């Protein structure tokens, strides 16, 4: 039986009439976002492939039903509405205020929960190419001052540091660890006839991983509210998410260095020089090629050094690393008839991705295997986005809060090269 688009559109209206705080409560109880709940109520796959509704999400269909344009499309002659025109923005319409809050949440999540793949290749731009000169006849100043950005991200995206994300329905998380992380304990080994099969045990950590609330607030005066367009609000919501992510990266760095409170989860510190160091001849705070190559080799199979977090002065040392004149690495003269080396696992030949952070330890290189080091733990339903109008000071206040924590997934996946330790 063919799909009747008229009936489907009637379904959108029916859902809109039922939208309100109770819808958010149902979504939270089910452990999903309102956007996901709307998609279950009004699945996109039911719409014909050629219809505009098929290309929208369920949330977008609801906003479109209310006649709200949330983005600019100059080629089609469409421009976004101002925020004050959003139904329910004044707090008198349950459906409108619910959709506004979820639209705000989506703009926030687009930055805070974007994966590494989603951020790859994103071109960041403030003004798109179809915007005319500021103050010109084609683009009056009031309009041209609008800010547009497809995707924002911090200098060190959280997705670059996290191996996996786990959602829970509590504010504490007791993580699992192997009771012995030596290779002999967790690799598959040959077992003699009738011999006992060796094994290892997953045990809960002695200390629970605490989850913390991260939050930001955006205040908009009535004067601005009368003129601001929805994409501009989206831009600043994204900026709030970026700053929250910067704060989270600081927490991850602390966990990588000091561990998550459970025994044996702090990063292993390796000295630069001196007895037992990577280069016995190295001097304090002077990285050598021998030490750097030795540090990379400290990551035993199956780990590899994929990512490092350092301060600017340390990174500059790495970028200007002196190879010396007497010991030129064979890898640099391959193809001259001497032969050479090539890794079996090409991942070992990949460049190390670096992030510059003042939160990184001084005179140290904090390095880790991104796929094994850190687990992010989030509380289901903890992302709360609210808007409220304050009459006394004539402002519109938007708040964004979320609850999450971080723990060491595998203690052997992170190490620190101490450039100041040559003893």
Q: Residues 344-379: pLDDT tens digits?
A: 776 666 789 999 999 999 999 999 999 999 999 888
Using CA atoms, how far residue 68 sits from 75, 80, 176, in Å, is 18, 8, 47
The tokens of 288 are what? 């050598």
**pLDDT score at 7:** 67
Query: Which domains occur in the chain, in start order?
Result: 113-187+199-326+345-423 (3.90.1690)
CA distance 365 to 194: 48
Tens of pLDDT along 114-135? 655 555 544 333 333 333 333 3
Residue 386 confidence class, pLDDT cut points 50, 70, 90 = low
**Distance from CA of residue 71 to its chain's centroid?**
24
CA distance 96 to 87: 5
Rg of the chain in Å (alpha carbons): 27
Q: Between 48 and 419, where is the model more confident?
A: 419
Quick check: 390 pLDDT over 60?
A: no
**pLDDT score at 378:** 84
**pLDDT score at 142:** 39
Burial of residue 302, with CB atoms counted within 10 A of its CB: 0-12 exposed, 13-18 middle, 19 or more buried: middle
**pLDDT score at 148:** 40
> Mean pLDDT throughout 203-216?
75
Strand 268-271 and strand 164-168: the pairing is unpaired
Strand 176-178 and strand 212-221: the pairing is unpaired
Tens of pLDDT along 36-88? 889 988 888 888 887 888 888 899 889 888 888 887 777 777 778 877 777 65
Tens of pLDDT along 264-312? 899 999 999 888 889 888 888 889 888 998 999 999 888 889 999 999 9
Quick check: 136 pLDDT over 80?
A: no
Q: What is the dihedral of CA 118, 171, 209, 305, to 10 degrees?
A: 0
Quick check: 217 and 243 in contact, CB under 8 A?
no
**pLDDT score at 135:** 37
């Amino acid at each position: 039986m063919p799909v009747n688009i008229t009936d489907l559109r009637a379904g959108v209206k029916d859902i809109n009439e039922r939208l309100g705080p109770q819808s958010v409560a149902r979504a939270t109880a089910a452990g999903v976002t309102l956007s996901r709940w709307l998609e279950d109520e009004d699945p996109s796959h039911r719409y014909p492939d050629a219809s505009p509704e098929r290309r929208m999400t369920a949330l977008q269909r609801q906003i479109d039903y209310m006649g709200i344009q949330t983005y600019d499309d100059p080629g089609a002659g469409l421009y976004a509405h101002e925020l004050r025109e959003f139904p329910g923005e004044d707090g008198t319409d349950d459906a409108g205020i619910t959709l506004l809050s979820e639209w705000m949440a989506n703009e926030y999540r687009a930055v805070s929960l974007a994966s590494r793949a989603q951020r790859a290749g994103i071109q960041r731009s403030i003004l798109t190419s179809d915007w005319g000169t500021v103050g010109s006849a084609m683009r009056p100043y009031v309009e041209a001052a609008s800010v547009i950005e497809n995707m924002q991200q911090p200098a060190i995206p959280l997705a670059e540091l996290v191996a996996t994300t786990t959602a829970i329905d509590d504010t504490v998380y007791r993580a699992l660890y192997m009771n012995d992380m030596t290779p002999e304990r967790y690799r598959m080994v040959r077992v003699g006839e009738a011999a006992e099969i060796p094994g290892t045990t997953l045990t809960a950590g002695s200390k629970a991983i605490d989850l913390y609330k991260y939050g930001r607030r955006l205040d908009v005066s009535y004067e601005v509210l009368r003129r601001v367009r929805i994409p501009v609000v989206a831009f600043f919501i994204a900026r709030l998410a970026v700053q929250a992510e910067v704060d989270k990266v600081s927490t991850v760095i602390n966990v990588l260095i000091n561990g998550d409170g459970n025994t044996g989860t702090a990063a292993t510190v390796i000295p630069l020089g001196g007895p037992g160091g990577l280069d016995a001849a190295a001097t304090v705070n002077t990285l050598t090629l021998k030490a750097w190559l030795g540090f990379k080799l400290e990551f035993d199979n199956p780990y590899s050094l994929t990512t490092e977090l350092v301060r600017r002065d340390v990174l500059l040392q790495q970028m200007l690393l002196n190879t010396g004149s007497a010991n030129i690495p064979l890898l640099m003269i391959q193809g001259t008839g001497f032969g050479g080396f090539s890794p079996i696992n090409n991942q070992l030949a990949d460049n190390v991705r670096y992030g510059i952070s003042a939160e990184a330890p001084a005179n140290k290189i904090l390095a880790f295997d991104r796929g094994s080091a850190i687990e992010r733990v989030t509380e289901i339903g903890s992302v709360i986005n609210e808007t409220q109008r304050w009459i006394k000071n004539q402002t519109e206040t938007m708040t964004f809060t979320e609850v999450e924590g971080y723990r060491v997934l595998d203690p052997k996946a992170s190490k620190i090269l101490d450039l100041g330790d040559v003893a």
